[in-house]
Amino acid sequence: MSVDLSLIERSACEVVDLLREEALSPHDLLDTLAAQVARVEPQVNALPTLCFERAHAHADALLKKPLSERGVLCGLPLPIKDLTDVAGVRTTRGSLVYRDRVPETSDAGVTLLEAHGGVVYAKSNTPEFGSGGHTYNSVFGVTRNPWDLSRSAGGSSGGAAAALASGTAWVAQGSDLAGSLRTPAAFCGVVGLRPTPGRVAYGPAANPYDTLGIHGPMARNVTDAALLLDAMCGEVDSVPLSLREPPTSFLEHARRPQRPARVAFSAGLGIATVEPEILSICRTTMERLAAAGVGVDESDLDLSSAAQAFHTLRGIAYATNYEDVLAQHRDMLNPNVIWNIEFGLQLDNRAMRAAQRTRAELFHKTNALLRRYDVLICPASIVLPFPVEARDIRDAVGRHFETYIDWLAITYALTLTGMPVIAIPCGMSASGLPVGIQIVGKPRGEAALLSAARAIEEIIGTWATGKPQVS
């Protein structure tokens, strides 16, 4: 057994370089992670299912290949969100319905990651079926924020974000519908990228043409997120919207940071009101960009019509995916999940048509703005991480929210546009909790977005300031 906890502080790119030099092996990394998991997991509960034996076996097989055939990750370990199947590993989707489920085959996205040199050692915690911005479920319980264990890690990729912040992962796979990569990134002081629909293949899915729910990378910095995005990309015959790998890697673009000339800043996208402290930190970030020579303009972009359209399209997705689960296992489901499915089942054609028209308008409006600016920037959350006892946010910043996901409007409005969006940390609250911004790129513009985000990161600093309570 070879444990070196100093490796936890290294970036994913640095660790991959060491793997390529054969200065260490995937087994060294797995042993180190096992030690770190044993140390912090009882407090955080980010990675409730471990599969180190499977990971070591996969590492053995990978090491039999020449270095040139070990993929872009070259044996880097990573966790997979518990919504996504990994062959031979318990995959519960955070639901009592599937608490004992062990799939025989892996999701197409996991197969791609492993083909690109990723080594899966754990499943990260998620709310039931990914339904919400707080990670808790009846199978594994709640995931806690490493910066303050009394606070939420966000959701639904909260386990992934908390693992990154607590040092039990260098990179992590996640997914995003209403902000599930971006909210936990903001809460935990890490990076979460929602790519263009189709950029990252996954499936088989009940609706393979869905463009709301996507998979994407999480990491501690922009460059590491680009590395993982490269490993997640690839055209898959069984995934009809999957896109080909780009001719130039996303990592190469991130390593060539291009400072944006002009950025548009929106305080709430016309749909959300943000806590004053968060907004102040975000405005200070804009001042730092302006001082570095970036042109920053206040934007009047209004995405207020997104709410009804998002609820409708999300409801259709839940009804498509889980109608049979509701019929067979209603007594085992979280009330929020039941509400989601039933809402989708009662929708009529008029509501569906209106939602599609609204979505088109939101795309055209945002795209017109991005013809004038390199990127759009806004806060990544309207609130700071809240107490873990709260199941959702119903009242914040002087507003009452009718549903348990309305506080996520600042992220789900951007989901509807289909634009790539990256959330990066930009500061800390007076109470020592992370604050993040969202940076929105042009259609299919992950390469330029990562380059711009890395340049912004160079100006404002990487990761979050200080040290998590648990790390």
At 437-451, the pLDDT tens digits run 999 999 999 999 999
Mean pLDDT of the chain: 97
Confidence label for 188 from pLDDT (cuts 50, 70 and 90)? very high
Confidence label for 1 from pLDDT (cuts 50, 70 and 90)? low
What CATH number should be reported for the domain whose range is 5-460?
A: 3.90.1300.10
Confidence label for 462 from pLDDT (cuts 50, 70 and 90)? confident
- By percentage, how much of the chain surpasses pLDDT 70? 99
**Interval 339-376: pLDDT, tens:** 999 999 999 999 999 999 999 999 999 999 999 999 99
Q: What end-to-end distance do the CA atoms of the chain give, in Å? A: 21
Q: Is 253 exposed, middle or buried (0-12, 13-18, 19+ CB in 10 A)?
A: buried
**Interval 287-322: pLDDT, tens:** 999 999 999 999 999 999 999 999 999 999 999 999
Are 366 and 419 in contact by the 8 Å Cβ rule? The answer is yes
> Which residue, among 174, 259, 260, 273, has the nearest Cα to 218 in the 3D structure?
174
Confidence label for 223 from pLDDT (cuts 50, 70 and 90)? very high
Give the gyration radius of the chain's Cα atoms.
Answer: 20
pTM given for the model: 0.98
pLDDT of 202 higher than 70:
yes
pLDDT of residue 316: 96
pLDDT of 463 higher than 90:
no
Q: What number is the average pLDDT over the span 130-155? A: 98
Phi, psi angles (nearest 5°) of residue 298: -75, 135
HSE of 261, CA atoms in CB hemisphere, 13 A: 4
Confidence label for 465 from pLDDT (cuts 50, 70 and 90)? low
pLDDT of residue 461: 87
pLDDT of residue 19: 98
pLDDT of residue 469: 87
DSSP assignment letter at 96: G
- By percentage, how much of the chain surpasses pLDDT 90? 97
Contacts of 329 (CB under 8 A, 6+ apart): 96, 97
pLDDT of 428 higher than 80:
yes
pLDDT of residue 467: 80
* Domain definitions of the chain by residue range: 5-460
DSSP string, 125-143: --SGGG-SSS-EETTTEE-
pLDDT of 390 higher than 90:
yes
pLDDT of residue 464: 61
